[in-house]
Amino acid sequence: MIDIKLIRENRDLVKENIKKKFQDEKLVLVDEVYEMDKEYRASKTKGDEIRATRNKISKEIGMLMKQGKKDEAEQVKQKVKDLDAEQIALEEKEANLEKEIRQRMLVIPNIIDETVPIGKDDSENVEIERFGEPVVPEYEIPYHVDIITKLDGCDLDSSGRTSGNGFYYLKGDIARLHSSILAYARDFMINRGFTYFIPPFMIHGSVVEGVMSFKEMENMMYKIEGEDLYLIGTSEHSMVGRFINQILDEDDMPYTMTSYSPCFRKEVGSHGIEERGLYRVHQFEKQEMVVICKPEDSKYWYDQLWKNTVDFFRSLDIPVRTLECCSGDLADLKVKSCDVEAWSPRQKKYFEVGSCSNLGDAQARRLGIRIRGKDKKNYFAHTLNNTVVAPPRMLIAFLENNVNEDGSVNIPAPLQPYMGGQKKITIPETRKKF
């Protein structure tokens, strides 16, 4: 949510930003907010005048009664009653205007950074840099589910019966590998100075409204029936929500946190849910990084966050690249964002495994997260987030880049301690049914 002062003082800037995001249907909202805000402030001013008048003439009642001027005192009392009624009507009007203004402000997109490339959708995102040499082996790389199935590492038939498409059972060494990747990611971030958290996996609607746009909420969030609770789509939601309506001390900045959680997503949209694969699913686990910082430090932390993900994947010898998200691909709350994509030797192209975002003060404004400066004045914090790793999507990149011609999978050195010293996952001689 942007500062309403921008609409009061520079509507053209806000409208130009909307056009850069190719959301022209929202242009009318800017003028509506401008007019409603004028009306709201005029009402507040009139209310202040009424209160001052009421207080002044209320004092006259006692004086008139002492002077025995009862009729005049009754007339003044009636004036006070009339002013009270007018005040109540104004307060009701202000409440309605405030609600209408907020509803519109919540869908007016954040002001994007001047460095963001202009484009309509993700097809116009811009490659920034590649890390590691993408390799395509001489032998054919199987589809990731076929790799896992050959290693007796998943059961999609059973998950289809229990839960439907978009769910899965992992088992054996593949399940252990999945957990090992998350454990390694946890320690990787702790070693970089981030504090480890396991947050709540459900949050109130007020937090949902604070951390994401309505469009994202519709497409992502599962609501608990009959309760004001939603299953989180990522731990960023509850980690940023942790600071709702808090005033933080400037000396404690920044908060650098890494959090584990399961993630639940409806995944509504044109892309749909894969019937057989593990790339787009309703349930997965993720290690996240979240930063709450002073506004002047957010650009620095943005660069640190995406570099952490690149370094993590490169430590496992997986080639990656970074893509700058164009204006039309940015969610409404984001100032700037880039995707980290891993190399797929099977598809001979890169695919997304993480997304780094600087949201400026948008989430902080919605949630009331402020910092108290040394001058005792409060200002809104900036919030940032990025994926460290999100199996099973990362598991796909890992398997494709480590599978051997015989179907076995190599375990890189950093993961071996988490796999009990195991250096390779091999095809079982006999397949056990569970």
> pTM for this structure?
0.89
pLDDT at residue 339 tops 50: yes
User: What is the architecture, at CATH level 2, of domain 122-425?
Assistant: 2-Layer Sandwich (3.30)
**Alpha carbons 427 and 395: distance in angstroms, whole number:** 17
How many residues does this entry show for the chain?
434
Domain limits of the chain? 4-105, 122-425
The predicted-structure confidence for 123-173, as pLDDT tens digits, reads as follows: 999 999 999 999 999 999 999 999 999 999 999 999 999 999 889 999 999
Query: By C-alpha distance, which of 280, 352, 267 is closest to 309?
Result: 352
pLDDT at residue 433 tops 70: no
Helix (H, G, I), strand (E, B) or coil at 129: strand
| Averaged pLDDT for residues 318-331 | 97
* The token pair that represents 86 in the structure block: 């007018």
**Alpha carbons 241 and 383: distance in angstroms, whole number:** 11
* Of residues 267 and 248, more confidently modeled: 248
- CB-CB contact of 364 with 382 (8 Å): yes
Same fold, 4-105 and 122-425: no
Element housing 148 (H / E): helix 144-150
| Averaged pLDDT for residues 233-257 | 97
Find the range with the poorest average confidence among 68-77, 135-144, 226-235: 68-77
Element housing 369 (H / E): none
**Alpha carbons 319 and 317: distance in angstroms, whole number:** 6
pLDDT at residue 431 tops 80: no
DSSP 8-state code for residue 10: -
User: What is the architecture, at CATH level 2, of domain 4-105?
Assistant: Orthogonal Bundle (1.10)
